[in-house]
Structure 1
């Protein structure tokens, strides 16, 4: 049975049998050609005789389907919400002892809470590349920047995206909040499949002045500057609430990308701290937004709890609009936590391929199709959600741009087992692969390490000497995938 939603997740929690509502004819027919796993990247090579590999997760289709009510046969609206630099345990439902997140906790209780969900990379923009394209960041030049910090690269408008593929099937598409996949004039959400864009182009901005890392003003509606000097999280919450309340005549995708709780550590009402950061920016201190002289655990708590309230307001607007049943809501972070994040018991943080840098909270709710109160420990990562949403919406990936993610539609909606596969990560100086319970990791020190995450999610007990064959197999898997990707610029 599913684990208790209120318990702090640990690797020993089993994946429960998911009692699910099945696709109805309308959704199933449009998605029939997109089989679960069909969008996956290259399969891992089978182990040689006698080599170790982890046991697969048990099949979950133990209970009969519960047929969905006919009025919910339409394709869902999709509300995909990202927090920014929010750590795995920064929500109270994931174990934070000092942060209260009742709205996000409730979202998890109303659907599925994932204990072993990962970002596509360890920093902001490459993860967004992996989500928008469904592919490893290293397949595109823009994805090699970790993260994008100048105007030389971005997400090429010719590359298919989640938004462009859904728009091709009749979805309305919008992105509100942080883009961080390239700058004007060459790169923009409106050039990559989103009908509407309201937000910031860069990786960070000061919450009141909207000044970015280069000292430039960075709040736009479409491709034009938009002046609003109120607290940024409030503005995004208002915009997103307005979007979901509209009288839509077609299904919609809304990517809602908060910058909270990314630095600078400025909570709503901190106008004096804001003014000091702005003073430093205008004085030529380009490092002012990093806020190395500011912030605290208490300030971070305020920002995370503000994010929770903001998500709650958007979800309340969705409910009042009458679209709650037919809207798939997904919430996650773009990577692991930063300086003031609560990461226990994980090691590492943002920018690292240790668990603390890439394992993130992830919550999914779709009342018309997915039963509440479920906890899953199946390992998943950002490109999987691209493949999943495309399948659910009846969209096909472009043949010339095969996905690296695996659709979880069959697992979530039809009770099918998720086939064992390798999750791959690469950043400069680090590498990692997860297969089942096992993780291969090489950090900047250059030593290959092997961890059993079910027994040791803190990554302290290196099992490399004990299981050399498994280590070699996972290292070879990483090297095969790496050979397919673009090399980092020297």
Structure 2
């Protein structure tokens, strides 16, 4: 067991050196899809080990129940509905996209802020926040990019749902053979292993386990793909298990690269999902899935390992959300937000260091720009206000995580307060159609 003096020394070392950052964002992973979160039909030993070496959050949320808005919230550290692209739920495929909608290059991002602060920046994997020539990772602060620009690609032929090749190195379209998850892992490992004289920020945004459901041994499915019923068809629990286990293997390789290069003790590693799971996910006690503002659509696995700051094998019930991770990364790297774009997220470092106890949050969601029955939600403490169309409800998540019992009649004051808070928050956001 480490002594108190050694812990103080390692903490002081971590705080005196600017850390590297590896931010791992997976796609459509349900809250319970890791074995450490409760999945029993397969194991994820590498990501589980990451959790055992740091902090696993049980009340972590995505900023939205679909891809693009959550990514906008992460890149900007602010509610996605402050920007027109954040209202796209999600952004369309390359062949269908509006060329004038994307993350504006003029808007500060976590990448541009870190780059200005001397960091080497790279994005490997899914972007989904706008297409060249007007938008793209290289225009939003990343020194380099390797990945897919749209929401979902075939894992082998790398084409989107419109049969358009979507695989880029920088701004160049490339046709590389291989399973996408493995290609992203290979690139991330190569980036980590490079000799360098300055700290790095790597965003590793796997497209897995997003549909189409194809495991690493399913190339034949890919060859016949367009003769089936489309991207969201098919799959099985066994295929999903193979996808997640391959993803776990990839994370293990990335973590091992940090170890073998001697950088693990000075690297902040964060793992999260962009929204709740899909057809083959496990949601634990929660109701709903991707596309819903019930807990299953927005509650996600989230893990933080920061050697010298986080203790090992910790479980936190603190309520957090995607853009808190942005604020935490910038604080850890001594990087300031642009004064014209103050953060909506909370810096979690005081919590991670044990300098602050768990605190109450009030968080807001709005979803359904193109739906007849839009959804809204507020989480405040243990209470959750939920609305879809004309239906409204109040749940106590501490006693009813499955959101089965509507308490608005017996807790009318709480219900009215949260509904009014949502209305006040919405006035600060862009309206749908902006």
Is TM (by shorter chain) over 0.5? Answer: yes
1:442 paired residue number: 387
Give the 3-state SS of the residue equivalent to 2:352 in structure 1.
helix
1:433 correspondence with 2:378 = yes
Q: 2:108 aligns with which of 160, 165, 173?
A: 160
Question: Is 1:247 paired with 2:190?
Answer: no
Shift of 1:256: 0.2
* SS of 1:180 mapped into structure 2: coil
Partner of 1:451: 395
Is the alpha carbon distance of 1:424 and 1:176 closer, same or farther for their aligned partners in structure 2, counting shifts above 3 Å? same
Any conservation in 2 of the 1:202–1:213 contact (CA below 8 Å)? no
For the residue of structure 2 that corresponds to 1:378, the secondary structure is strand
* 2:417 maps to 1:476: no
**Residues 276-310 of structure 1, C-alpha deviations (whole Å, 9 max, x = no match):** 11456xxxxxx7222x2x10111111111111111
Equivalent position of 2:77 in the other structure: 134
**In the alignment, is the contact (CA less than 8 A) between 1:20 and 1:415 conserved in 2?**
no
How much has 1:396 moved relative to structure 2? 1.2
Pick from 23, 28, 39: which aligns with 1:85? Answer: 28
Q: Per the alignment, in what secondary structure is the counterpart of residue 51 of structure 2?
A: helix
TM-score scaled to structure 2, two decimals?
0.94
Q: CA offsets per residue over residues 53-82 of structure 1, 9 Å max, x none?
A: xxxxxxxxxxxx834365542111110001
Q: Partner of 1:289 in structure 2?
A: 231
Q: Does 1:172 align with 2:120?
A: yes
Distance 1:419 1:299 in 2: 40
Residue number in structure 2 paired with 1:391: 331
1:7-54 CA-to-partner distances (Å, cap 9, x unmatched) read xxxxxxxxxxxx9999xxxxxxxxxxxxxxxxxxxxxxxxxxxxxxxx
RMSD after superposition? 1.8
Contact 2:319–2:360 (8 Å) recurs in 1: no
Partner of 1:68: 10
| Secondary structure at 1:167 match in 2 | helix
Residue segments in structure 2 that go unaligned for 5+ positions in a row: 369-373
Q: 1:419: how far off?
A: 4.1
Matches within 5 A, 1:74-153: 74-149=17-92, 150-152=96-98, 153=101
Residue deviations 1:222-252 (CA, integer Å, cap 9, x gap): 0001221211111101000011111121111
CA 1:459–1:390: 2 relative to 1, 3 Å? same
Aligned to 1:413: 353
Aligned with residue 404 of structure 2, among 451, 460, 464: 460
2:222 to 260, 274, 287: 274
Which of 143, 160, 179 aligns to 1:231? It is 179
TM-score (norm 1): 0.83
1:335-381 per-residue CA deviation (whole Å, 9 max, x = no partner) reads: 00001111131100001110000000011111232110100000000
Q: CA deviation at 1:102?
A: 0.6
> How many Å separate the matches in 1 of 2:388 and 2:397?
17
Q: 1:342 to 1:473 in 2, by over 3 A?
A: same
Change in CA separation of 1:458 and 1:69 when aligned onto 2, cut-off 3 Å = closer
* DSSP 3-state at the match of 2:300: strand
User: Following the alignment from structure 2 to structure 1, what is the Cα–Cα distance between the partners of residues 38 and 58?
Assistant: 11
Pick one of 181, 188, 193 that aligns with 2:141: 193
Consecutive unaligned residues of structure 1, counting only runs of 5 or more, are 1-18, 23-64, 281-286
Matches within 5 A, 1:192-211: 192-211=140-159
Q: CA deviation at 1:275?
A: 0.4
In the alignment, structure 1 residue 354 sits paired with structure 2 residue 290: no
Give the drift of 1:137. 1.1
Report deviation, 1:414.
Answer: 4.9
* Separation in structure 2 between the aligned mates of residue 374 and residue 458 of structure 1, nearest angstrom: 24
Query: Closer, same or farther in 2 for the Cα pair 1:278/1:248, shift >3 Å?
Result: farther
- Whole-Å separation in 2 of the counterparts to 1:468 and 1:142: 36
Matching residue of 1:57: none
1:361-418 C-alpha deviation (Å, 9 max, x unpaired): 0111112321101000000000111111111111111121121111111111252135
Aligned residues: 421
Partners of 1:271 and 1:390 in 2: CA distance: 40
Give the Cα separation in 2 of the matches to 1:69 and 1:96. 33
Write the distance in 2 (CA, Å) between the matches of 1:21 and 1:470.
Answer: 45
CA-CA distance at 1:443 after TM superposition: 2.1
- Secondary structure at 1:357's aligned position in 2? helix
